[in-house]
Amino acid sequence: MTGPNLEMARVGVDMLYNESAVTPSCSTQVSAKSVWLHIRKAQMRVASIGKCASCGVKIDKADMKSHIITCAKTTEFKGKAEKIIQLFIEAEELPEYWVYLEGNEQATFQELDGYLRHIWLECCDHLSGFFEMRNQIPKGTRLVEYFAKPGMVFKYKYDFETTTELLGKSINLRKGSIGKQTIRLLARNEPLKLACSECKKPAEYVCPFCIDVMPTLFCAAHAEKHKCGVEETYLPVVNSPRMGICKYTGGV
């Protein structure tokens, strides 16, 4: 094997999540907590660095909020001004994964759901929901209606079996225009530098069979030597809190 084949990986992972198979089902096989432990052990970067989508500057997560609110490239616009809500969203147990987004007056939670699936989550068309405390937020609700002021929070859940949970809050209300799109990316974390569990070279693959035990992150060479390698079940290391869970192979 010259390297794990990701097309074959999907076949292997189908076996992993087939309830009639000998291997455990997805509801018992993996968890966000398991991935969190692996990230903590494998992370090679101390600070969580992000990149502004408007001007390209790369700065620390802690400083990105103030930059987003004042970035000249973000706030410039043409056309009719309207209300725009700016949001910060991070993975609940993996805060190294985070994004800043903004939505115009037409943007709904349904569109926010679609955007999060597109960049971070979608693998098998799982159910999802937004929540305020224990109350579910109707997806038809417009963002500007719900977020009346900065500091309002919500929780998002994707897949109610092997759940990926996100936490979000409003950070700013402004006037402007974001063109024809209803939601746009403002900033997100740069890909984490994760190390191979065996040699500390950059990790390229995740073994979904071993996500609850060590080791599970591998460079190409050690992926071939791993005990599960013959089953061609690897998933790629990707910039997402969904990495290594279910059949997720990456967004944008």
* Claim to verify: residue 32 and residue 61 sit in the same structural domain: no
pLDDT in tens, 65-112: 999 999 988 888 777 899 999 999 999 988 999 999 999 999 999 999
pLDDT of residue 29: 45
pLDDT in tens, 136-195: 999 999 999 999 889 999 999 999 998 999 999 999 999 999 988 999 999 999 998 888
Confidence of residue 250 (pLDDT cuts 50, 70, 90): confident
* Claim to verify: residue 54 and residue 179 sit in the same structural domain: yes
Domain contains 252: no
* Claim to verify: residue 160 and residue 35 sit in the same structural domain: no
Domain contains 241: no
* Claim to verify: residue 219 and residue 135 sit in the same structural domain: no
What is each CA distance from 66 to 38, 86, 203, in whole angstroms? 31, 12, 32
The CATH number for 185's domain is: 3.10.290.30
Residue 3 pLDDT greater than 80, yes or no: no
Decide: 29 and 23 in contact? Cβ < 8 Å: yes
Task: Among 189, 209, 224, give the residue marking a domain's end.
Answer: 189
Q: Can you give the residue range of the structural domain that contains 10?
A: 6-44+192-236
DSSP 8-class letter at 142: B
Q: Which amino acid, one-letter code, is at 134?
A: R
Percent of the chain with pLDDT over 70: 79
Position with higher pLDDT, 29 vs 223: 223
* Claim to verify: residue 22 and residue 73 sit in the same structural domain: no
Domain contains 247: no
* Claim to verify: residue 143 and residue 172 sit in the same structural domain: yes
Residue-averaged pLDDT of the chain: 82
Percent of the chain with pLDDT over 90: 54
pLDDT of residue 40: 56
* Claim to verify: residue 29 and residue 68 sit in the same structural domain: no
* Claim to verify: residue 106 and residue 200 sit in the same structural domain: no
Domain contains 185: yes
* Claim to verify: residue 198 and residue 135 sit in the same structural domain: no
Position with higher pLDDT, 200 vs 138: 138
* Claim to verify: residue 63 and residue 34 sit in the same structural domain: no
Domain count, the chain: 2
Beta strand segments in 124-216, E: 128-132, 135-137, 153-158, 164-176, 183-189, 205-206
pLDDT of residue 219: 92
Domain contains 248: no
Domain contains 251: no
Where do we find the tokens 């074959």? 8
Where do we find the tokens 């992926």? 223
Supply 57's token pair.
């500057």
Domain contains 249: no
Q: What is the mean pLDDT of residues 221-250?
A: 85
pLDDT of residue 180: 87
* Claim to verify: residue 155 and residue 56 sit in the same structural domain: yes
DSSP 8-class letter at 192: P
Domain contains 61: yes
